[in-house]
Structure 1
Amino acid sequence: MHNPAHPGAVLREYLSDITVTEAALRLGVTRAALLRILNGSAGMALRLEQALGTSAEMWLEMQLKHELWQASLRPRAPVVPLG
């Protein structure tokens, strides 16, 4: 596994010179809602798909990979196998 791109960083590349506030206005959401892409919202992924010509799956998969990578770096309690 490698450290995948954070969806927020990729989104900022798509937005280029557009501010988060302006992008939120164009998407018809609040600024806070746009910033919540970090939570992997399916609804936001669908809006980004429509607004940017990307796929909703791309945003959700990117978020999932980022979260898995981050979780793999944190210490976890030992697990006893169930089988």
Structure 2
Amino acid sequence: MTGMHNPPHPGLLFEDYLGEVSLSEAARRLGVTRATLSRIRHGHSGVTADMAVRLGLLLGTSAELWLGMQTAYDLWNEKQKPRPEVLPLAG
């Protein structure tokens, strides 16, 4: 994932995996509310380790796929923010 520009939030790719299954049905199978899943779907909430495991089970993917996408998204966004200069320990 190095050199990637503005990676997508994993929620944006979620619908591709759902196919014809409704968000309500997916939420029911995941054991979460439709509102919770909708927040992830629209990029308003992140994919936690717990949700990554659930998504992996639901969709036949790896939990690492979802957590990796979330981490790439979070890191890219964090790197866009200004921060104070940090001096490395090793000189």
Pick the aligned partner of 2:66 from 43, 54, 59: 59
Deviation at 1:36, TM superposition (A): 4.7
Find the aligned partners of 2:48 and 2:35 in 1 and give their Cα distance: 12
Residue 27 of structure 1 aligns with which residue?
Answer: 30
Asked whether the equivalents of residues 40 and 64 of structure 1 are also in contact (C-alpha less than 8 Å), the reply is no
Query: What is the TM-score when the length of structure 2 is the normalising length?
Result: 0.74
TM-score (norm 1): 0.80
Contact 1:7–1:59 (8 Å) recurs in 2: yes
Conservation of the 8 A alpha-carbon contact between 1:48 and 1:54:
yes
Q: How many residues get paired? A: 83
**Is structure 2 residue 68 aligned with structure 1 residue 68?**
no
Bigger helix fraction: 1
1:58, distance to aligned residue in structure 2 (A): 0.4
1:31: how far off?
2.2
Where does structure 1 lack aligned partners over 5 or more consecutive residues? none
Moved over 6 A (4+): none
